Amino acid sequence: MTITSTDTISAIATPPGRSGIGIVRLSGPDCNHIARQVLGFQPVPRKAYFTDFLDRNGEVIDKGIALFFKGPNSFTGEDVLELQGHGGIFVLNSILKSTLDLGCRLANPGEFSERSFINNKMDLAQVEAIADLINANSEQAARSAFRTLEGAFSQRIDELTASITELRVYLEAAIDFTDEDIDFISEGNSVDRLQAIIRQTGEVFKQARMGIILQEGITIAIAGRPNVGKSSLLNALSGRDSAIVTDIPGTTRDILKELIDVDGIPVHVTDTAGLRTSNDRVEQEGVRRARRAIGDADLVLLVVDSQSLVEAGDGYGTDSGSETRAGQAIKALFKETELPSSLLASHKILAVFNKVDLLPESSLNTDITITMDGHRIPGLLVSAKTHVGITALRDAFKHAVGYTAGEEGSFMARERHLRALEKAVTYLESADTQLRIGENLELVAEDLRLAQVSLGEITGQLTSDELLGQIFSSFCIGK
């Protein structure tokens, strides 16, 4: 998308449908002229007017609030006019048509935000945070997105870039004096400075990863044999009767999804069909979909009837014997349901022994450790009926992704930000290796430059037009 100095854009900035208020937004050099035509007078910047909105023939379309912002003191950095009228579909389209008749063109998706970026009102990370704030589905996600919009993420990136630049300038200056009998690396504490930059970049990466978890959440698949209480477990986690529960094996035949909030993390929980061999074509399809959901999940809850711990031997506590019995139960589940062995090595399994309310003892330690084929699998004893262990299970979701609730300083980020940070760390570590050897300062300086380039991709200092097109095309028209 290209912008010319004579281009003025217009769009409806509120969602389609009926509402009390709807907004038509304009941006560009002709806002002054169009305001005089639509309002019948020249508005003073930053003053709200309750007035009529007119079409090109001077007929009244609606009455509402008009606001004019003089560039560069506006969202886009250009002259901006906002017309806040009634939110009816016909009314808003009539106001929009009036602005188009007077010389505006319809804005492209995300073009208002793109102009803000191009006119240096915001960097690319802040622009992306607008969409993240709109799409936030928890309080913590909204706070993190707002921190990014306010520049918290960009500030950390700028600080890293400044530190790299300072070290790079020093080392490039040292290259000109390689014949001198001076140890520039030791004199300038270069190794320690570079190590500090690597640590700081790692901290930013961790915060960015938490931001992605807050925005996108994690996907959990509940899997196991029929009648072990998978659907009851989904109901216990969601707090409502989402799934049909009966004592008839094979009741669940399709994928059932629920979104729950765990300390600000969106958790997408999928209940799957019981894993077993069946001649029923419908159930066979349900099992196929269950296996696909297991493969796609970030965490798999392998649900087992806790009676298996008792049937395998005396007791069911957390002594070494019960670990063996629990391991045997999980091993039998893998064998009978033909779960792939690669699932063990993926470290994304949590064993859930359900129906502990049916066991003879009423007081249980809900934590259990399982050893199977050399792999350690965390496990919990729970009751979907009485909710024993459900709180611990929800906490285990957070532990699985390394999330700390309420972690201060978090900000919203995206996968492309993580990739850029990973590249930066790779170049920084390469520079560190060369620096410790004490030779080839030119290679060190080049690695530092490439690390800067990678960080610049995050804020848009060095970003391709193709990437910009992808980012802004995901925005709504009015943003």
Q: What's the mean per-residue pLDDT of the chain?
A: 81
Measured distance CA(67)–CA(48) in Å, rounded: 5
Which pLDDT tens digit goes with each residue over 269-296?
888 877 776 666 776 777 778 888 888 8
Beta bridge partners of 53: 62
What residues have CB less than 8 Å from 168, skipping those under 6 apart? Answer: 445, 448, 449, 452
Q: How far, CA to CA in Å, does 70 sit from each of 30, 51, 111, 163?
A: 11, 19, 18, 37
Q: Quote the pTM value.
A: 0.70
For 149-167, what is the mean pLDDT? 92
**Three-state SS letters, 343-402:** HHHCCCEEEEEECHHHCCCCCCCCEEEEEECCEEEEEEECCCCCCCCHHHHHHHHHHHCC
Which range, 210-224, 344-358, 416-430, has the best average confidence (pLDDT)? 416-430
Whole-number Å distance between alpha carbons of 326 and 309: 6
The encoded tokens of residue 468 equal 């910009």
pLDDT value at residue 138: 75
Average pLDDT value for residue range 61-68 = 96
Q: How far apart are CA 74 and CA 413, in angstroms?
A: 25
Sole residue written with tokens 């009741």: 251
Q: 83 to each of 35, 59, 61, how far by Cα in Å? A: 9, 16, 12
**Arithmetic mean of pLDDT, 375-398:** 86
The residue among 17 and 458 whose pLDDT is bigger is: 458
Q: According to the model, what pLDDT value does residue 25 have?
A: 96
CA distances (Å), origin 367, targets 92, 193, 314, 323, 389? 58, 44, 18, 11, 9
SS (H, E, C) 289-341: HHHHHHHHCCEEEEEEECHHHHHCCCCCCCCHHHHHHHHHHHHHHHHHHCCCC
Asked if residue 8 lies in contact with residue 106, where contact means CB atoms within 8 angstroms, the answer is no
174 burial class (0-12, 13-18, 19+ CB within 10 angstroms)? Answer: buried
- pLDDT of 121 reads 93
Share of the chain above pLDDT 70, in %: 80
Confidence of residue 372 (pLDDT cuts 50, 70, 90): confident
Per-residue pLDDT, averaged over 48-72, amounts to: 94
Report d(CA 477, CA 479) in Å as an integer. Answer: 6
User: What letter does residue 107 receive in the DSSP assignment?
Assistant: P
| Torsions phi, psi for 265 (to 5 deg) | -90, 125
**Where do the domains of the chain lie, and which CATH numbers do they carry?**
9-122 (3.30.1360.120)
Q: What is the pLDDT of residue 316?
A: 43
Of 126, 207, 27, give the one whose Cα is nearest residue 471: 126
Task: Please report, as a single letter, which amino acid is at residue 436.
Answer: R
Amino acid 336 reads E
Summarize the confidence of residues 59-74 as an average pLDDT: 95
| Per-residue confidence (pLDDT) for residue 200, from 0 to 100 | 95
What is the Cα–Cα distance from 400 to 414, expressed in whole angstroms? Answer: 20
pLDDT average, residue stretch 57-84 = 95
Pairwise CA distance, residues 220 & 211, whole Å: 19
* Cβ atoms of residues 265 and 138 within 8 Å: yes
- Of the candidates 93, 443, 412, which has an alpha carbon nearest to the alpha carbon of residue 264? 412
Q: What is the pLDDT of residues 307-337, one digit of tens each?
A: 777 654 444 444 444 445 777 788 888 787 7
CA 383 to chain CA mean position, Å: 31
